[in-house]
Amino acid sequence: MANVGETCVTVTWLQFNAQLLRLTGEARFAEQLEHVVLNQLFGAQRCDGSGWGYYVQMEGKKPYSSTLDGHCCLSSGPRGVALIPTFAVTTDADGVVVNLFDAGTAKLKLRDGTAVGLTIETSYPNNGRISITVNPVEKKAFCLKVRVPEWCAEPKMEVLALAKRNKKRETGGYWTVTREWEKGDRVELLFKLEPRVVVGDHKNQGKVAVLYGPLVLAADEALLGATNRSLKAISAAGTNLAALAVMPEPAPDAVKSWPGAQVFPVNALARKSTGSLKAGASLQVQLVPFADAGANGTAYKVWLPLGPASSSDNVLFDAQESRSRAGNVSGSITDDDLLSFVVTFNDKPRTEDWFAVTLDEPVAVNRVVFAHGQTFHDGGWFDASAGKPRIEVKASADAPWRTLAALGNYPATTAADPAGLKGGERFACELASPIKVWAIRVVGKPACGDNPKQAFASCAELQAFGVQADAGHKSNTQTPRL
Ligand SMILES: [Zn+2]
């Protein structure tokens, strides 16, 4: 999916939840604020603060930018950060409310005008120990409410104060301590941070995401080590904590964005055979908080596929893609998503355009599928009047492109008429027996629609299906004559 997670929208979502929290006092809105601040908001900001991302997605590369040219998010991102103190610690009719656990000092005024200072000491979310010192200007009875994180299985709280009467109760996601507070009274909290696994559904079927306390984690190409340089080769070892064995450790210098920064080694599997590493082999991968993922320009991924790729999977999934012209749409033809697409539009005419996918090593396939991207008034399809678009393949890096087949069921389009082609429509090319390919492309004449001064084509997906080419028993594969 392209163009999701715009930072302006993230900040609007913060404003909306802050407003709902103010109106209702319900902890779920504060929970959402913490989730968004620690993950999506800081995930959109470059770790040194010098840039912001426009669309910050669950996988890909962080699109940090430091210039305001058409970049609305560069103004709204900092606005989001500036909002944090307005909801982190607040007051209500009963007293003081702690929603977020950032280290710092707050100067508050109770409804009757009494000044109360609050000092929070913690290295959260490095760990869950939080110390809150309450400093009212004078001895005063009021409530201190502390949000109890929903993800915490065994929250602990201790009130360290000289006086006699503490009334502690839990309501609606908050612990409320009512007492006569004196300068220096302290509350110690322990919200033990633990890993959690979210098993994907719908578009994330067959994938898992790992969280640690309030943090969403991601795999980062910068931390795959020498054996695996590509995220494509990685899958999660299972859907439960026992299989994944998440264990935090201090972050190496290369990704240490703050003194408490951590990485989270998890058990993983080689998804595809790469070099000496066979599909299914065990390995360990260090995950990082989403806020730090891709900080140095590397690719990252929150949803990790499960287990090695199966023979029924699209073998081009996650492979390297390229096209004849860069175009002006930021989609992908290898994400198994028919809604995200790319185009070759550059406002110029062209006699031929292509969309290609290149693998790490040759794979045997017997079915290739091209999915049309989108039909626009000024093009986006292949003009089939002089021949249907064709599938070409390369057997190795040095081999020349050769034609596998034309897409016979592609409609009889012309330069100006898309013949009813719809976005995401798929056209398959079936082979009588598997063929080994290293790269595949679809080639055709781009259409111009109502603007003959230019022409372009589009592509939503290029997929191929067949058998993995790594096992010895497939060595008798026949190459069809074409
Ligand atoms: Zn924006």
Task: Convert the pLDDT of each residue in 69-121 to its tens digit.
Answer: 778 999 999 999 999 999 999 999 999 999 999 999 999 999 999 999 999 99
Query: In whole angstroms, what is the distance from residue 87 CA to residue 99 CA?
Result: 7
45 CA from centroid of ligand 1 (Å): 13
pLDDT score recorded for residue 276: 72
Q: Name the residues around ion ligand 1, CB cutoff 5 A.
A: 6, 8, 72-73
For range 421-425, the mean pLDDT: 94
pLDDT score recorded for residue 475: 34
Counting residues of the chain whose pLDDT is more than 70, the rounded percentage is 92
Residue 222 phi, psi (nearest 5): -70, -15
DSSP-assigned letter for residue 58: S
Cα Rg of the chain (Å, integer): 28
73 CA from centroid of ligand 1 (Å): 4
80 CA from centroid of ligand 1 (Å): 12
Q: What is the distance of C-alpha 24 from the center of its chain?
A: 31
11 CA from centroid of ligand 1 (Å): 9
Residue 360 corresponds to which tokens in the numbers above?
């790490």
54 CA from centroid of ligand 1 (Å): 6
211 CA from centroid of ligand 1 (Å): 27
10 CA from centroid of ligand 1 (Å): 9
H helical segments located in 136-236: none
pLDDT score recorded for residue 384: 97
188 CA from centroid of ligand 1 (Å): 40
H helical segments located in 25-149: 27-35, 42-44, 73-88
43 CA from centroid of ligand 1 (Å): 14
Residue 3 phi, psi (nearest 5): 55, 45
204 CA from centroid of ligand 1 (Å): 26
9 CA from centroid of ligand 1 (Å): 7
pLDDT score recorded for residue 478: 36
217 CA from centroid of ligand 1 (Å): 24
Query: In whole angstroms, what is the distance from residue 352 CA to residue 382 CA?
Result: 9
Task: Convert the pLDDT of each residue in 273-303 to its tens digit.
Answer: 666 777 788 989 999 999 999 998 888 999 9
2 CA from centroid of ligand 1 (Å): 15
50 CA from centroid of ligand 1 (Å): 16
Residue 123 corresponds to which tokens in the numbers above?
């290295």
74 CA from centroid of ligand 1 (Å): 7
For range 41-61, the mean pLDDT: 93
321 CA from centroid of ligand 1 (Å): 27
76 CA from centroid of ligand 1 (Å): 7
For 59, the 3-state DSSP assignment is strand
The residues pairing with 60 across neighbouring beta strands, listed in sequence order, are: 300
Asked if 3 and 22 count as a contact pair (C-beta separation under 8 A), the reply is: no
pTM: 0.76
E runs forming strands in 102-233:
104-109, 115-122, 129-136, 140-147, 156-160, 167-171, 174-181, 185-190, 195-199, 207-212, 215-220
Task: Convert the pLDDT of each residue in 143-186 to its tens digit.
Answer: 999 999 999 999 998 887 655 566 677 788 999 999 999 999 99
25 CA from centroid of ligand 1 (Å): 29
77 CA from centroid of ligand 1 (Å): 8
51 CA from centroid of ligand 1 (Å): 13
Q: Is the pLDDT reported for residue 424 higher than 50? A: yes
Query: In whole angstroms, what is the distance from residue 59 CA to residue 89 CA?
Result: 32
